[in-house]
Amino acid sequence: MNPGYPFSAIVGQDRLLLALSLCAVHPGIGGVLVRGEKGTAKSTAVRALTALMPPVTDSAGTRPARLVELPVGATEDRVVGSIDFERIVRDGERAFTPGLLAAADRGLLYVDEVNLLHDHLVDLLLDAAAMGRVHVERDGISHSYPSTFVLVGTMNPEEGELRPQLLDRFGLAVDVSASRDVDTRMTVVRRRLDYERDAEAFAEAHADADAEIAARIALARDRVADVELPDSELRRIAAVCAAFDVDGMRGDLVVARTATAHAAWRGGATVTEDDVRVAVELALPHRRRRDPFDAPGLADGELDDAMSRADEDVRNSDPDPDPEPDPDPDGGGAPDPATEDGAPEHSSSDDAPPADEPPPRPSTGGSSGTAASGDGFDARLLQIDGVGDGAPGRRSRARVSSGRVVRSTDFTGGSLHLVGTLMRAAERRGAAESGRLSIAGGDLRGVDREGREGNLIVFVVDASGSMAARDRLSAVTGAVVSLLRDAYRRRDRVAVVSVRGTDAEVILPPTRSVDVAVTRLRDVRTGGRTPLASGFLTTRDVVARERVREPGRRALVVTLTDGRATGGPDPVGRARHAAALLAADKVASVVVDCESGMVRLGLARDLATALRGTYISLPELSSASVAGVVRAAA
């Protein structure tokens, strides 16, 4: 078996390596979330760190620290542990088998694509990481075991975001990307080729450097408890967190622990301002993203300004500061930061730009424009009727492999319903003469679980030159922004199909990535003919592709149009035929009639009939009413 890629051989990811090392020094930091594009050594660095962790001494002796990888599809039983049914049936004894969290004790727990993991499993991981123990209470069994580990999650933001509540639970976060420096890229490729050619020789060449890092981690672990955190630096930490308006106190605690670990890492006995700066850079940027349209990270100069104000606060609080030249003899200090309530100014349709020009840009934090903000309405009540089998999420009801147990059912494999099984056995045979209950194969009962799924919402927007296309587009953009905000928390996918000119265009492919969505929604144009048939056929293709990718994800199509299809022979008839094809695919639909004026043709109602969907007439269209329609139809 080839040795793993050495930790010291990784090039161009210094911040990632530092964050991992600090968490190895002080597991109480809470782990690292690594965000970045594919091929940036995320997984390589995590696996390489395990070899440098101090050995573990337990009842069986001394062993190397373990790397435990948690699959995205793992069940709760596999993660925390489960009842040992074999011993119960065989010996009549209650027994518990610990899960992956027990195996990860004093090692490293790695979750690749953590943004795709079930939310309740992420909660379990983060609670265990915070407490250092796992407590299991289920089916009459109470069990607890230690589980202290370094938690590392990796993710590609293009595949969806983590909810803000989960972002906050990771101690540190690092954004990684491939270096644009030519020499660095050459070094990365050369080293990788050398490793693939002779892994053992490559590992041997870097063995001394890895041993030095391992010794540094072990030494820092031993001294971290003795590192002093002066009141002046604790005040600096509190001032910076307050300046960044960080919710709660977890951010302050993580910065303090990280600064202490960094001081131990560099061999210091006392936390300094430089330690605090490093800790802030790693621990605070991801805690500031309350809204999915907030830009991640810190803007240029923000950290310097916050540290400067914190430094002033520290000096002012010190009754007897060290004598030093006054950098600002005239006094004054940094001005108070400008305050904004974040409420956007809503513009009317009269302020809309002329046809064939881009609409107002979607907001990234409080700028004006109805199409941009999506504020003023809330789409959280969006649900699709029935119980699906869909992708994990927090939207509509679904049958899931993990979640709330609603009833026992016939056993077909998977989780066993213990109480139901024992009840069935007791009903059939009762206790044997020995006093033990006899269980046969026919007594086994399975678990029927119910949870939540994410849905696919597809907006079909008539962006043609007819009937106030700009108002329609402004409204639907606001609705999409609103749904994306909610989808950020509930793991939905949202897509937009624009109908304009000679064809339909997927201007926003199904996505949960708000960064991608904002970019795509900036440049939508209006004007031209209305090829509705093409719009429905394109939508049908979008839904079909998603069903191949995620068969259980249910779709809701919301069409905003006046129904006046134009272009080519029999455009209205072709639109109805295409709508019928979409309906035959059993896709839930809503048609929002945007027709206005004294004379109304009722074409949108005909489309709703062809779609076998819901028809809604809105004499005055707005972003708020669009979201309301989606709620009502769902």
- 58-62, 111-115, 591-595: which has the highest mean pLDDT? 111-115
| Out of 115-129, 221-235, 529-543, least confident range | 115-129
For the chain, the structural domain boundaries read 1-175, 250-317, 392-453, 456-633
Instruction: Give the pLDDT band of residue 420 (cuts 50, 70, 90).
Output: confident
List, in order, residues 6 or more apart from 367 with CB less than 8 Å away: 344, 361, 373
Q: Which CATH number fits domain 456-633: 3.40.50.410, 3.30.300.30, 3.30.720.120, 3.40.50.720?
A: 3.40.50.410
Where does 1-175 sit in CATH, by number?
Answer: 3.40.50.300
Which has the higher per-residue pLDDT, 292 or 177?
Answer: 177
Q: What is the C-alpha separation between 617 and 603, in angstroms, rounded?
A: 11
250 is annotated as an active-site residue: yes
Instruction: Give the pLDDT band of residue 621 (cuts 50, 70, 90).
Output: very low
Q: What is the C-alpha separation between 610 and 606, in angstroms, rounded?
A: 6
Query: Furthest-apart CA pair in the chain: how many Å?
Result: 95
- Other CB atoms within 10 A of residue 473 CB: 26
Exactly one of 78, 185, 192, 250 is catalytic; name it.
250
Tens-place pLDDT, residues 285-337: 888 755 555 666 676 677 888 888 888 888 887 655 444 444 444 444 334 43
φ, ψ for residue 439 (rounded to 5)?
Answer: -115, 125
Q: What is the C-alpha separation between 56 and 130, in angstroms, rounded?
A: 20
Q: What is the C-alpha separation between 391 and 117, in angstroms, rounded?
A: 11
Please give the model's pTM, rounded to 2 decimal places. 0.62
Tens-place pLDDT, residues 365-391: 333 333 334 444 444 355 677 777 776
Using the predicted structure, report yes or no on whether residue 358 has a pLDDT greater than 50: no
The two domains 1-175 and 456-633 share their CATH topology (first three levels equal): yes
List, in order, residues 6 or more apart from 98 with CB less than 8 Å away: 80, 81, 134, 143, 145
